[in-house]
Structure 1
Amino acid sequence: MTNDADRKRDVATSFGNATDGYRDGAVLKEGADLERLVDWTEGATRALDVATGAGHVAGAVAERNVPRVVAADLSPEMVTTATADYGGLEGAVVDAERLPFPAGRFDAVTCRFAAHHFPDPEAFLAEVERVLATGGVFAFEDLAAPADPELASYVNRIERLRDPGHVETASPAQWRDWLEAAGLTVDAVRETSRRLEVDTWLDRMDVPADRRREIRSLLSNAPAALEDAFDFRYADDGERLESYRTGVVLFRARA
């Protein structure tokens, strides 16, 4: 297994190569959950979007007349894409677990659909707490694993096959524990889900044919409890899985 530095380098390269898919993918650039996340930053004057990807969150926050928005990502290509597509953003190539900003610099920090790539989520949250001003808001969204450890392990196995940079999808309860341990006060939680088209989901990371076959085999043989929880939907032949709903959790927390 690679060490954390190697893993982060691999993630940066992988996402740099997948910029177009993340810029154009509807699941990332629109939705009521994105609007909710941005609404939670209302009134901010200095915002930081960690692991900005193609900049959808940072751009939406800037459109709410937040004077300063920093779009930060480990991938230089993603930062370039975000700042090119959304005017007025400041770009920064940063490690989410070692934010190069002074304490109390921001009154809002956002992070959406990225933390499952972080080797040390507790270090990330400690950094969020550090760079937030007193009373500042952290608006967070990520995939959510089932509470059942065996089902969570199955989901994470599939995710790692699709994306070698995937570390772990955690449960909502685990995220709440980590947030509170970091000194952040949770004041809103929203558990929801998003339907993923399997082929589009695989195409976004340009998954090789051998891993696609393995992923589809695991999905075809998934435990019945996971099939029910994720609302599997099949093609007309009843054999090929077309889509499923993956768990999502949003937290608003304050420093």
Structure 2
Amino acid sequence: MTNDADRKRDVATTFGNATDGYRDSAVFEEGADLERLVDWTAGATRALDVATGAGHVASAVAERDVTRVVAADLSPEMVATATSEYDGLEGAVTDAERLPFATDSFDAVTCRFAAHHFPDPESFLAEVKRVLAPDGVLAFEDLAVPDNSELADYVNRIERLRDPGHAETYSPAQWRDWLESAGLTIEAVRETSRRLEVDAWLERMDVPDDRRREIRSLLSNVPAELEDAFDFRYADDGERLESYRTGVVLLRARA
């Protein structure tokens, strides 16, 4: 419990210091995947965006004339950014695994590119199930790793070097199992990928130079299977990695 509490404090601090990078990042503020998540919340009148970051998802949901949209995050700075950048959002500083809302409070819950920071994903899903009204929808997206445990461990090692608040990225199969165990009925699953520009990816978290070198070294020596799966692209000299595609999973589930 103490380790989880410490990790959450670190996450809140780290992301509180990175609000500008997340607010201005095209990775978060646009994309067909964002539109899909928002479409999945159609018909909702009360929505909660968990781990809202700079508020991109919450804002997109609010634009669909949803009566109440709560932008919730562990970082006070992120909540302040979301509510100041976008009109009509209600802010809440809260732990994703201990949501301070009454049972059956929302018709839709969204969570995008955040759950890999949650120490206890099953508690998060239990809370989602609790706060969703009957027949309410969870629209979920996160990074994903291959089912191969060795490859997954390699990816997570790199992610933790970049972001000390990173808990773990899971496979789509693991998320499906957890959703079903939480009593949520899966209606749609989409496995896709997103290309990351390595320099921008490192800059967004202001990664120290020593860690950047270690990450670059690990990326230069990835297993061939992972290099193929993530479609590595190199600079003209063939040595410096410029970008790669990271796995992504989107799931729609109903309470």
TM range (shorter): over 0.9
Partner of 1:53: 53
Whole-Å separation in 2 of the counterparts to 1:126 and 1:74? 18
- Percentage identity across paired residues of the two chains: 85
Relative to structure 1, the CA distance from residue 87 to residue 167 in structure 2 (aligned partners, 3 Å threshold; closer, same or farther) is same
The SS at the match of 1:3 is helix
2:206 equivalent in structure 1: 206
Aligned mates of 2:224, 2:180 — CA distance in 1: 34
The equivalent residue for 1:144 is: 144
Structure 2 Cα separation of the partners of residues 138 and 26 of structure 1? 23
Helix, strand or coil at the partner of 2:12: helix
Question: What is the aligned partner in structure 2 of residue 232 from structure 1?
Answer: 232
Give, as a single letter, the amino acid of the residue that structure 2 aligns with 1:71.
A
Cα deviations by residue, 1:107-140 (Å, 9 ceiling, x for unpaired): 0000000000000000000000000000000000
Q: Which amino acid aligns with 1:29?
A: E
Quick one: distance in 1 between partners of 2:2 and 2:203? Answer: 25
Alignment of structure 1 residues 1-255 onto 2, 5 Å: 3-255=3-255
Moved over 6 A (4+): none
Counterpart Cα distance in 1 of 2:187 and 2:88: 30
Query: What amino acid sits opposite 1:224 in the alignment?
Result: A
Which whole-Å CA distance do the structure 1 matches of 2:48 and 2:28 have between them? 18
Secondary structure in 2 matching 1:7: helix
Q: CA deviation at 1:3?
A: 0.6
How many residues are matched?
Answer: 255
> How far off its partner does 1:2 sit?
6.4
Post-superposition offset of 1:147: 1.1
What secondary structure is seen at the aligned counterpart in 2 of 1:87?
coil
Distance 2:107 2:28 in 1: 24
Q: Specify the SS of the correspondent of 2:195.
A: strand
Deviation, 1:20, is 0.2
Matched position secondary structure for 1:42? coil
Once residues 116 and 74 of structure 1 are traced to their aligned partners in structure 2, the CA distance between those partners, rounded to angstroms, is 14
Q: Shift in Å at residue 163 of structure 1?
A: 0.1
Measured in 2, the distance between the counterparts of 1:133 and 1:218 equals 45
User: 1:233 & 1:93 partners in 2: Cα distance?
Assistant: 39
Name the SS of the counterpart of 2:7 in structure 1.
helix
TM-score (norm 1): 0.99
Q: Residue type of the partner of 1:105?
A: S
What is the deviation of 1:48? 0.2
Provide the C-alpha distance between the structure 2 equivalents of 1:38 and 1:187, rounded to a whole number of angstroms.
15
In 2: Cα distance, 1:231 partner to 1:131 partner: 39
Instruction: Give structure 2 stretches of 5+ with no counterpart.
Output: none
- TM-score, length-scaled by structure 2: 0.99
